């Protein structure tokens, strides 16, 4: 079954924000929006779920910190305990700085890798984009033509109202 | 969020640019032929780097007896350089992370270069403890790995081990933060490049970035998280560096003021170095529209703030030393200001406390030549600050018969020059091969996106 898409290209942030709001009000299915820079708040307008990356950051940060406290305790007090200046074996306050650093390291790196993984970014990946200029100065809205009630002419009129520079129909896989 | 623009404000980027113009201006520099000016600067930096490499090779082969250290002054030039370079790095993180959290939108034109500066400065800093180990090929012993010696673990109670963890975490997080910030721009350059080696390399580095809103959505969250992590990290790093001194019992080092004083000093010196580099970069690369006089102005104001904190810390140290009536503490501070190293102390005060006062005047903050000279003076002053802290606290200890003076040897001076060579070589390579301005961020602060009344903000 072939899937049809309608692509609208825009030149300015204001237009893409407006058109996304409009098609969302009319309940069209937004496949994706391509922008050359982060347009703040557009993901909410488009109705995309908020990212779950903060959970990864929190969980792995906590894991890193707990792991490091355990590791410091195990090495300094248990595995090979060394008397350093008569300090207690479990010098917890002295463990604080490294625990903090390792927490930041775990939280930061894991969040970055989670980002690469969830966004399917890896070296050698061929970028799939509707227009080569979306990394330069074009904004592209991709709508899915779900069924026969999708009125191309009507959507084109909406796009026109937001100063579209190009409207295009593509078959399945055609968004790439 | 269009309504954030006010018609009363000046635009952040001059020249009323469109998105495409930003791409052309920033990537154009990388596509053109290398300018002779760049080559000359690069060759000079490379020369210094080679001199430094020769000096390092010599001292590693011979031993650190080639330094001017003696029994009384056991820490001097090397640790001074280390603290100096780490401090330089801190301004990059301040601009990229702290100012991001404070929603200072002017940071977009300088943050990329400032972060690159951070990474190279941390590399320069890491060089010095590595040499100081005497046997740098055993540096991996700092890492707590299971080994055949027992396993004998590192001493987690030691500030020097804290330092190792702090610096390596700082380097890793800064590098990752910088790379994530680069991704959209790498993709921009990939899509501009015609088939060839450039397209291949940037294609590999940009990881298939396609500007999808789903990715941007996660990207923005990631950026915020990294900024949130880097902010306490940068404070922790120089705090831990100050603990190298503060946990000792030496008067002048053993002080609770050291952590905030070091952090403020780090940002102060780093800001000065960012300004020095930006003034050169905007001129050489023709980026006057992006790094405007307004940027110099606001960064100079940050210099006044952090410089005032540093000045206050100098005064507080003196006051507390006198007020405590601790004879050792009192002696040390009198010795700092009036002893054999008074010349270093007063150089520091002149460069760090007195000369930055000129920046209170708007005419001076907006004068490129003046700002350039003042930032150089601050760089010199901040180097001397570390020298004063390290050497004057040591050279006259509890036993007057062992009092002495310290003079660096040629090898030590050449190593310092070599680290500057490394710094500028790294920075010039960055300017030549990567986009100096964060295009994807600058595009977000242009007024171009808005057609209506708000475009009056131009």
A35, A72, A136: residue with CB nearest B20:
A136
pTM of structure:
0.91
Residue B155 lies inside a defined structural domain of this protein: no
Residue B4 lies inside a defined structural domain of this protein: no
Nearest to B271 by CA among B233, B298, B241, B289: B298
- B248 in contact with A, Cβ within 8 Å: no
Residue B1 lies inside a defined structural domain of this protein: no
- A21 in contact with B, Cβ within 8 Å: no
Q: Which domains does chain A show, CATH number per domain?
A: 3-50+131-172 (3.30.70.1110), 53-119 (no CATH)
| Pairwise CA distance, residues A73 & B144, whole Å | 13
What 3-state DSSP class applies to A6? strand
Nearest to B450 by CA among A11, A135, A131: A11
CB B213 within 8 A of CB A46: yes
Transcribe B284-312 into DSSP letters.
HTT-TTTS-HHHHHHHHHHHHHHHHHHHH
Residue B454: closest CA among chain A residues belongs to which residue? A14
Q: Residue with structure tokens 């004068």?
A: B367
Residue B5 lies inside a defined structural domain of this protein: no
Number of domains composing chain B? 1
Quote the tokens at residue B352.
């760090």
Locate the DSSP E strands across B161-263: none
Nearest to B155 by CA among A79, A84, A85: A84
Q: Please report residues of A whose CB lies closer than 8 A to that of B105.
A: none
Find the DSSP H helices in B63-158. Answer: 77-93, 99-101, 111-132
A48, A98, A102: residue with CB nearest B213:
A48
- B160 in contact with A, Cβ within 8 Å: no
- B53 by Cβ neighbours in 10 Å (0-12 / 13-18 / 19+) ranks as middle
CB B234 within 8 A of CB B93: yes
Q: pLDDT by residue for chain B (458 residues), tens digit each?
A: 444 444 555 677 776 778 888 888 888 888 888 888 889 989 999 999 999 999 999 999 998 899 999 999 989 999 999 999 999 988 888 888 888 888 888 888 888 889 999 999 999 999 999 999 889 999 888 889 888 888 888 888 888 899 999 999 999 999 999 999 999 999 999 888 887 888 889 889 989 898 898 899 999 999 999 999 999 999 999 999 999 999 988 888 998 899 999 999 998 999 999 999 989 888 888 788 888 888 889 899 999 999 999 999 999 999 999 999 999 999 999 999 999 999 999 999 999 999 999 999 999 999 999 999 999 999 999 999 999 999 999 999 889 999 999 999 999 999 999 999 999 999 999 988 898 888 888 888 877 766 654 443 33
Q: Which domain holds residue B35?
A: 13-144+163-452
- B449 in contact with A, Cβ within 8 Å: yes
Nearest to B201 by CA among A123, A22, A28: A123
Q: How many residues does chain A have?
A: 176
Residue B149 lies inside a defined structural domain of this protein: no
Residue B152 lies inside a defined structural domain of this protein: no
- B176 in contact with A, Cβ within 8 Å: yes
Model ipTM value:
0.91
Lateral strand order in the sheet of A4-10: A29-34, A139-145, A4-10, A166-170
Nearest to B310 by CA among B347, B371, B269: B269
Quote the tokens at residue B185.
């721009």
**Contact (CB<8Å) A136/B156:** no
Residue B256 lies inside a defined structural domain of this protein: yes
**Contact (CB<8Å) A51/B166:** no
B161, B183, B221: residue with CB nearest A54:
B221
Torsion A112-A117-A118-A124 (CA) sign? positive
CB A51 within 8 A of CB B218: yes
| Pairwise CA distance, residues B349 & B352, whole Å | 5
**Contact (CB<8Å) A122/B219:** no
- A83 in contact with B, Cβ within 8 Å: no
The segments of chain A whose pLDDT lies below 50 read 174-176
| Pairwise CA distance, residues B240 & A97, whole Å | 8
Distant-in-sequence, close-in-space partners of A147: CB < 8 Å, separation ≥ 6: none
| Pairwise CA distance, residues B130 & B124, whole Å | 10
Residue B36 lies inside a defined structural domain of this protein: yes
- A79 in contact with B, Cβ within 8 Å: yes
CB B270 within 8 A of CB B88: yes
Distant-in-sequence, close-in-space partners of A151: CB < 8 Å, separation ≥ 6: none
Rg (CA), chain A: 25
Q: What is the nearest CA distance from A68 to chain B, expressed in angstroms?
A: 11
Find the DSSP H helices in chain A. Answer: 13-25, 42-45, 53-73, 92-118, 152-161
| Pairwise CA distance, residues B76 & B69, whole Å | 7
CB A35 within 8 A of CB B213: yes
Q: Residue with structure tokens 């520091």?
A: B348
């Amino acid at each position: 079954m072939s899937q049809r898409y309608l692509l609208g290209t825009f030149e300015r942030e204001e237009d893409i924000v407006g058109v996304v709001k409009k098609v969302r009000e009319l309940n069209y299915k937004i496949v994706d929006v391509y922008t050359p820079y982060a347009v703040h708040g557009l993901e909410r307008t488009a109705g995309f779920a908020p990212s779950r990356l903060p959970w990864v950051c929190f969980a792995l940060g906590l894991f890193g910190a707990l792991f490091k406290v355990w590791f410091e305790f195990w090495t300094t007090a248990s595995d090979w305990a060394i008397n350093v200046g008569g300090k207690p074996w479990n010098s917890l306050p002295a463990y604080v700085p490294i625990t903090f650093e390792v927490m930041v390291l775990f939280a930061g790196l894991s969040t970055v890798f989670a980002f690469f993984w969830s966004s399917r970014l890896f070296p050698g990946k061929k970028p799939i984009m509707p227009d080569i200029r979306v990394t330069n100065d074009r904004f592209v809205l991709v709508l899915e033509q779900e069924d026969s009630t999708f009125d191309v002419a009507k959507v084109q009129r909406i796009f026109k109202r937001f100063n579209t520079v190009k409207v295009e129909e593509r078959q399945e896989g055609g968004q790439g | 969020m269009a309504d954030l623009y006010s018609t009363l404000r000046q635009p952040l980027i001059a020249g009323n640019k469109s998105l495409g113009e930003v791409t052309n201006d920033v990537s154009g520099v990388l596509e053109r032929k290398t300018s002779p000016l760049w080559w000359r600067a690069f060759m000079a930096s490379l020369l210094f780097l080679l001199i430094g490499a020769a000096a390092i090779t010599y001292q590693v082969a011979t031993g650190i007896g080639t330094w001017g250290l003696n029994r009384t002054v056991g820490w001097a030039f090397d640790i001074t350089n280390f603290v100096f370079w780490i401090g330089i790095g801190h301004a990059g993180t301040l601009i990229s992370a702290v100012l991001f959290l404070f929603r200072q939108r002017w940071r977009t034109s300088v943050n990329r270069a400032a972060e690159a500066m951070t990474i190279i400065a941390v590399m320069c800093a890491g060089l010095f403890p590595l040499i100081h180990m005497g046997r740098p090929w055993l540096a991996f012993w700092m890492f707590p790995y299971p080994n055949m010696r027992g396993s004998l673990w590192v001493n987690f109670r030691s500030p020097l081990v804290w330092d190792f963890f702090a610096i390596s975490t700082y380097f890793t997080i800064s590098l990752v933060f910088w790379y994530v910030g680069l991704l959209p721009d790498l993709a921009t350059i990939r899509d501009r490049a015609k088939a060839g080696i450039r397209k291949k390399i940037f294609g590999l580095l940009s990881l298939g970035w396609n500007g999808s809103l789903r990715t941007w959505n996660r990207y923005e969250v990631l950026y915020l998280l990294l900024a949130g992590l880097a902010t306490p990290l940068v404070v922790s790093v120089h705090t831990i560096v100050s603990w190298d001194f503060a946990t000792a019992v030496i008067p002048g080092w053993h002080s609770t003021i050291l952590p905030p004083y070091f952090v403020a000093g780090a940002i102060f010196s780093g800001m000065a170095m960012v300004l020095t580099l930006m003034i050169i970069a905007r001129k050489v690369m023709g980026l006057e529209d992006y790094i405007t006089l307004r940027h110099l102005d606001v960064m100079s104001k940050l210099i006044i703030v952090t410089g005032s904190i540093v000045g206050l810390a100098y005064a507080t140290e003196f006051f507390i030393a006198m007020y405590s009536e601790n004879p050792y503490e009192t002696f040390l501070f009198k010795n700092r200001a009036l002893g054999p190293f008074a010349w270093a102390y007063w150089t520091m005060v002149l460069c760090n406390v007195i000369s930055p006062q000129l920046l209170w005047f708007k005419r001076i903050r907006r004068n490129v030549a003046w700002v350039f000279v003042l930032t150089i003076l601050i760089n010199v002053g901040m180097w001397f600050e570390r020298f004063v802290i390290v050497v004057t606290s040591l050279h006259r200890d509890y036993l007057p018969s062992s009092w002495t003076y310290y003079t660096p040897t040629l090898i030590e001076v050449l190593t310092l020059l070599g680290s500057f060579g490394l710094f500028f070589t790294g920075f010039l390579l960055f300017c030549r091969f990567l986009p100096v301005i964060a295009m994807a961020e600058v595009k977000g602060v242009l007024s171009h996106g808005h057609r209506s009344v708000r475009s009056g903000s131009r």
